[in-house]
Structure 1
């Protein structure tokens, strides 16, 4: 059962968040400010932190920075009443993984928590399995049963991204940012070229297929 630390000085928000998280099968720990949250974090194993930005004693910005320094792989979901772009950018720069603006739908919160926990497990294990196809990010090796498949780095990263979230649609821009980086200055059609190559390499596999979602982007669908 994942343990989630919820840090918010609003008792009603904490109660609501913890209620939905517990109903979704998670154990929760509460903290009224950043300092108390940091103390709870150091004393108890935590799988994810939901933190508010505007808290007394130690605000969410500082807490985010401290948590990320202590554990670079800890999933962080930031809650805030602020919706300005620069606030979100600051949160991501300090290390938060996701952002939710108040007022929020509790069901969306639980979905985002699930997604973060899934992503965290994938990042820790460094391996994604799609049926018999195994994609190991640590060794950059792909195997299909007993067959080893050699991929160039960009094709590997693209496949790993798609396979990490089967069924999720990724735009070309999202794939460019993740695989080639935010400072990539080339044509986003390079994604199409790499997708075509991946399809050719895995044309004979029955484990998955990469679908084009017209007007949106691409998604990987499993056949198992």
Structure 2
């Protein structure tokens, strides 16, 4: 299996250089140029390692790491930064980082740190997320965006599927609006918030044939997908 790396770096030149080097080293690399896009991509597919720049637009690397840690406590996170102050490194580790690489850095140092972090992944990496999960009497295929019950197949939009994927991953738990909005839209302003409400209403309709399933609105917090066994 080829290790998959999420690289989030707003310096496009450095991002392409690092991405190209990692690809030549045999890794599959997804490159994003801001923290919001990085969090969105993190929620769209499974990765084995994250490499985050610290100073980025929309969402800085420390904030991005904290949000990732709410979803996945095991995935290694390597920070790239121009800062070398001790207090900045401490903040990075508190945010959930595992290692720190100060710019400018050599290719060899990057390679060695990536290898070391991936060795840890081989021991602790979580089971790959199931592509097809049961939701009451329905089967949800998060890869093909379908919801099936008996002989009826409902095709979902990409956003519907991503929202449902998050809700099923945290089944019977409250998921904050902020997490869903950032994961699906890459932002959490008022207008996309209204769009989320529309999508939630649609998902409720899709599950209306099974009264054991409900998507509750926890006022001021978020949503909860509940399934009564």
1:23-44: CA deviations, max 9, x gaps? 1100000111110000011001
Secondary structure at 1:43's aligned position in 2? coil
Contact 2:9 2:53 in 1 (8 A): yes
2 CA distance for matches of 1:17 and 1:68?
Answer: 24
**Residue 124 of structure 1: how far off its partner (Å):** 4.2
Match of 1:30?
Answer: 31
**Residue 20 of structure 1: how far off its partner (Å):** 1.1
RMSD of aligned C-alpha atoms? 1.1
**Residue 45 of structure 1: how far off its partner (Å):** 1.1
1:188-213: CA deviations, max 9, x gaps? xxxxxxxxxxxxxxxxxxxxxxxxxx
Larger relative contact order (C-alpha < 8 A, sep ≥ 6)?
2
Secondary structure at 1:77's aligned position in 2? strand
**Residue 16 of structure 1: how far off its partner (Å):** 1.1
1:32-67: CA deviations, max 9, x gaps? 111000001100111111000000000111001011
- Gap runs ≥5 in structure 1: 126-224
2 CA distance for matches of 1:20 and 1:96?
Answer: 22
**Residue 123 of structure 1: how far off its partner (Å):** 3.0
The 5 A counterparts of 1:18-57 are 18-57=19-58
Q: Report the number of matched residues.
A: 125
Runs (4+) of structure 1 moved beyond 4 Å? Answer: none
Match of 2:81?
Answer: 80
**Residue 96 of structure 1: how far off its partner (Å):** 0.3
